[in-house]
Amino acid sequence: MMLWLCITQLTLAQNYIDTLYSISTESNITYGEAINFAGTNTTLQLDLSTPSDAPLPACGRPLVVIIHGGAWVAGSKNDAGIVNLRETFAKRGFAAAAINYRLGFFLSAQNLNCNVPNWNCSLAADSSEWIRAWYRGVQDAKGAIRYLVANRETYQIDTSQIFVLGESAGGFIALGTAYLDNLSEKPLDCQLLPPVQAPNAAYFAPCIQNSSWALEIATMNLNRPDLGSIEGELNLNAGSYRIKAVANMFGGMLQNLFALSDNQVPDLYTFHQPNDLIVPIGSTRLLQGFSECAASTGCVGIPNRPWSWGSQAMLNYLDTAQIPPSAKPATQAEITTNNANCLTQILNPAQGGHQYDAPFLRSAQAAAFFAARIVENDCLVGLAGLSQNRPAVWALNHEISIQTSRSSPVHYRIVDLSGRIVQQGQLPDGAGRLSLHSSSQLVWVWLQEADGKTSCTPVWLQNQ
């Protein structure tokens, strides 16, 4: 069976793209509590789906964390599209978590009512409110990842293979989770700010009353404290992990997060449509197209919108900026040719720019991007021989040395990247050297000792 686990490592990459497995789901897992924008304690939860009939890699399953959109005032892990993403990624072989995070920001004290759906709920007290809402979401997403890392054995997660995917506002949070990694990147807007005026009562019914953060305006704490570390305060002692890549679905950045990095940055998949009215594909203010569209109906423009950088703006920066190689991710962009204008999008929502053109296709492309970066059983590399209970296996050029703690026979099989058995046999005394002729630089050495104990070790055959 261990042999097939080893071979599975070599052939499962496609499984992280195709939906092959049945799944099981654990819902409403509490990963922490935090104070929201109005001073109220908020319980934060996630749903986790895992494949129930897929082979379990030795180091656990790769994890994808999925983050919903909703302009930081709405949305949920229970949104139909988010549920579909969570279940679909689990069917591909991932452990897939969809998270809730703190929602809401202070709405304007002015009454700027406009009879356009969702327009009133975009009226922030100032541009800092957008940025503070994003920052809280990033802190929560990092806390959710650390919760899962801390419980990696329970949930069978490979903490060296973590991926993040977000839609719209969730895309902004996903990018922040991946790239907000330097203390100097903390926005000034997220430090101590003067209190705000209470939101205008006109926004209570359309924007506050039916929200997940529903509060009476009179009960809101109008102070704006320093929001703390870029890491937040949740599950800080979870242990180390690595985010391999991030998928941004029609989201963007509220500031440049590429210029500074403390570590090698995750790679970037991004999807966008050129006529997005909510998150512009280029570099301009958030909601630019929506604001102009609403203004054409007689509304005033939406005030207090921060600057944003959509997919094309991010790609342009990465193509031209002089930044260290470690801070420059490999990228894959999917940009449609949809240029339907404001009126066309209103009359035919199917041509709307702030959405998927083909949800399953874009999900599959993101999954393929992630799958190409998965190195299963990476936790075993370099660990052979560190324990008395584990055989030591190493290579010099194309000679493999094997040393066990036994003097009894050991059966071995060596498998190359195609899954082909290159060599097999028996070491009579539990140790020996094997000359190997293989075009593959990476092989897997499977050992079965006399008592039935098995091990599987990756070995590089390059010159040392």
| Ramachandran assignment for 100, one of left (phi > 0), alpha (psi -120 to 50 degrees), beta (any other) | beta
Q: Please tell me the predicted confidence (pLDDT) of residue 4.
A: 44
φ, ψ (nearest 5 deg) of residue 220: -75, 135
Q: What is the pLDDT of residues 288-317, one digit of tens each?
A: 999 999 888 888 889 999 999 999 999 999
Number of Cα atoms under 13 Å in the Cβ half of residue 222: 14
Q: Is 190 exposed, middle or buried (0-12, 13-18, 19+ CB in 10 A)?
A: buried
For 316-352, b/e burial (b = at least 16 CB within 10 A) is ebbeeeebeeebbbebbebebebebebeebbeeeebb
Cα(148)–Cα(127) distance, rounded to whole angstroms? Answer: 33
Looking at the DSSP bridge assignments, the partners of residue 245 are 163, 267
The answer to whether the beta carbons of residues 232 and 34 sit under 8 Å apart is yes
Looking at the DSSP bridge assignments, the partners of residue 249 are 167, 271
At the topology level of CATH, where does 381-460 sit? Immunoglobulin-like (2.60.40)
Encoding tokens for residue 198? 């209470």
- CATH 3.40.50.1820 domain position(s) in the chain: 2-379
Helices (H), 231-387: 288-295, 311-320, 342-347, 359-371
Q: How confident is the prediction along the chain (464 residues), in pLDDT tens digits per residue?
A: 444 444 444 444 457 999 999 999 999 999 999 999 999 999 999 999 999 999 888 889 999 999 999 999 999 999 999 999 999 999 999 999 999 999 999 999 999 888 888 889 999 999 999 999 999 999 999 999 999 999 999 999 999 999 999 999 999 999 999 999 989 999 999 999 999 999 999 999 999 998 999 999 999 999 999 999 999 999 999 999 999 999 999 999 999 999 876 567 899 999 999 999 999 999 999 999 999 998 888 888 899 999 999 999 999 999 998 887 777 899 999 999 999 999 999 899 999 999 999 999 999 999 999 998 888 766 654 433 333 455 677 776 677 878 776 678 888 888 776 667 788 888 887 777 888 776 666 777 878 777 666 677 777 765 43
**Model-wide pTM > 0.85:** no
At the topology level of CATH, where does 2-379 sit? Rossmann fold (3.40.50)
Q: What is the pLDDT of residues 83-99, one digit of tens each?
A: 999 999 999 999 999 99
| Single-letter amino acid code for the residue at 218 | A
- CATH 2.60.40.3080 domain position(s) in the chain: 381-460
Cα(376)–Cα(59) distance, rounded to whole angstroms? Answer: 7
Task: For the chain, give the longest Cα–Cα distance.
Answer: 87
